[in-house]
Amino acid sequence: MCESSKEALAENNLNLPKMAEKDGCFQSGFNEETCLVKIITGLLEFEVYLEYLQNRFESSEEQARAVQMSTKVLIQFLQKKVGVSSFPQLGVGEDRLKDSVLDNSGMQCHFQKRRLQVNKRV
């Protein structure tokens, strides 16, 4: 992992899902259903990053696939808890998100550096 995850996020300008008070996940104004829907949506968005890792870096492919499968299981579990059998896909925003991931040279550089560090240890 990165030495400082906050620095890595800032350096790579990743567009990760963020929680807001309206999402119902904070102690004040907590709403379980609203919060779980936000978490499910965030996990669906996160899958795009996992797909990028899996397709871009051979050394990360197996790990990304494992995390992706675990994420899918978690999404399905949360969907059942909310009582939603099918959750809407990302749709239009997905293409924009994929483009931002693929065009983010800082992110690509970060993952390349990380791959080199892993290869040096082996």
> Which pLDDT band holds residue 77 (cuts at 50, 70, 90)?
very high
Spell 45-59 as b/e; 16+ CB within 10 A means b.
Answer: bbbbbbebbbebbee
Number of domains in the chain: 1
| For range 20-35, the mean pLDDT | 92
Identify which of 79-83, 89-93, 102-106 has the greatest average pLDDT.
79-83
| For range 72-92, the mean pLDDT | 73
13 belongs to a structural domain: no
10 belongs to a structural domain: no
> Which pLDDT band holds residue 35 (cuts at 50, 70, 90)?
very high
Q: What is the residue range of 116's domain?
A: 21-121
1 belongs to a structural domain: no
Residue 5 has pLDDT above 60, yes or no: no
| For range 96-115, the mean pLDDT | 45
CA angle 27, 28, 29 (to 5 degrees): 110
Flag whether the pTM goes above 0.85.
no
14 belongs to a structural domain: no
- The CATH number covering residue 50 comes to 1.20.1250.10
| For range 7-23, the mean pLDDT | 71
